[in-house]
Amino acid sequence: MYNPFSLIGKTILVTGASSGIGRATAVECSKMGAKLILTGRNEDRLQQTLHLLEGDDHLLFSCDLAQEDDIKVFCAQLPNNIDGIAHCAGISSLKPIIGLNTQNLQDIFCTNYYAPVLLTKYLVKSKKLQQGASLVYVGSISGISNVATALSAYGSSKSALNSFVQYAALELAGKHIRCNAVLPGRIETSLLQNQTMSEEDLQKDIAKYPLHRYGTPTEVAQAIVYLLSDATRWITGTSITIDGGRSLI
Ligand SMILES: NC(=O)c1ccc[n+]([C@@H]2O[C@H](COP(=O)([O-])OP(=O)(O)OC[C@H]3O[C@@H](n4cnc5c(N)ncnc54)[C@H](OP(=O)(O)O)[C@@H]3O)[C@@H](O)[C@H]2O)c1
């Protein structure tokens, strides 16, 4: 049956696959026929993701992407026929500006910015990506427009990532590699649950979403599938906002 969004025959690497958006992305990609390479730090949770996938023949590697040496070792183990990457690994941190220090800035930038940038570098350098590969980076509306207090480090790391996506799209176009981003609003994952918010503040925040709810990991995953598929083979250097209309107000 004709399906322009099919991922049959494609090998897709998903970072942050042990949880939330990364896990949902791996599941949705497997439903579309892809062979998956899963990575994260927590091997038990990666195994749980593996059990949720359709099909077999998937691969799993644990790797701390905040460590450049780990990225190098990880890349060396990968097959050289990768058709797509979903860069989902990320961390958040709620800290007012006066509470910031070099260590927490480094932590957040290492995972949210350096890791996807260096992973891109080493995969391109070691020729692990197929011609026509699609790289999808998970940014955030916090990096573009949804400015909030205590999120300056997180938001800045996502702004930097969004900027990188545009530069990478231009630089890698000659290799027929596409780079795009998805920019979610608040999504119900552990990242959100880890943030302490009173029930009253939560309801006030949800009220700012024109579609009256937060998003689900699957809703982000399906946009990632779209960007990984051949249906978007002429789309590069752009981003899709997935936020129930939050950026409109
Ligand atoms: N949830 C939201 O509201 C929201 C909104 C906008 C954007 N985002 C973005 O969406 C992405 C996924 O977030 P999520 O909500 O799905 O969060 P999550 O459920 O907490 O998942 C985060 C994932 O990142 C991985 N990770 C973190 N640090 C890592 C490291 N040093 N090395 C390797 N893997 C690492 C974790 O793996 P381990 O647990 O195995 O270490 C986990 O699989 C992030 O980039 C986040 O910024 C989320």
What residues pair up with 84 in beta bridges, in sequence order? 12, 134
pLDDT at residue 194, as a whole number: 62
Predicted structure pTM score: 0.98
Residues 128-153: pLDDT tens digits? Answer: 999 999 999 999 999 998 888 999 99
Q: Which tokens hold the place of 37?
A: 């390479």
Report the pLDDT averaged over residues 167-187: 98
Nearest CA owner, ligand 1 atom 1: 187
Residue 201 burial by Cβ neighbours in a 10 Å radius (0-12, 13-18, 19+): exposed
Cβ neighbours of residue 190 closer than 8 Å, sequence gap 6 or more: 19, 20
Ligand 1 atom nearest residue 215's Cα? 3
pLDDT at residue 199, as a whole number: 87
Helices (H), the chain: 20-31, 43-52, 68-77, 102-109, 115-125, 152-172, 190-193, 199-206, 217-228
Domains and CATH numbers, the chain: 11-241 (3.40.50.720)
Asked if the model's pLDDT at residue 72 lies above 90, the reply is yes
Q: Is the CB of 219 under 6 A from ligand 1?
A: no
Report the pLDDT averaged over residues 160-180: 98
pLDDT at residue 146, as a whole number: 84
Q: How many angstroms does the Cα of residue 88 sit away from the middle of ligand 1? A: 6
pLDDT at residue 191, as a whole number: 66
Q: How many angstroms does the Cα of residue 1 sit away from the middle of ligand 1? A: 35
Residues 207-227: pLDDT tens digits? Answer: 999 999 999 999 999 999 999
Instruction: Tell me the best of 13, 14, 15, 19 to mutate to test the pocket of ligand 1, counting ligand atoms within 8 Å of each CB and taking the most.
Output: 19
Asked if the model's pLDDT at residue 92 lies above 80, the reply is yes
Report the pLDDT averaged over residues 70-90: 98
pLDDT at residue 198, as a whole number: 85
Active site residue 154: yes
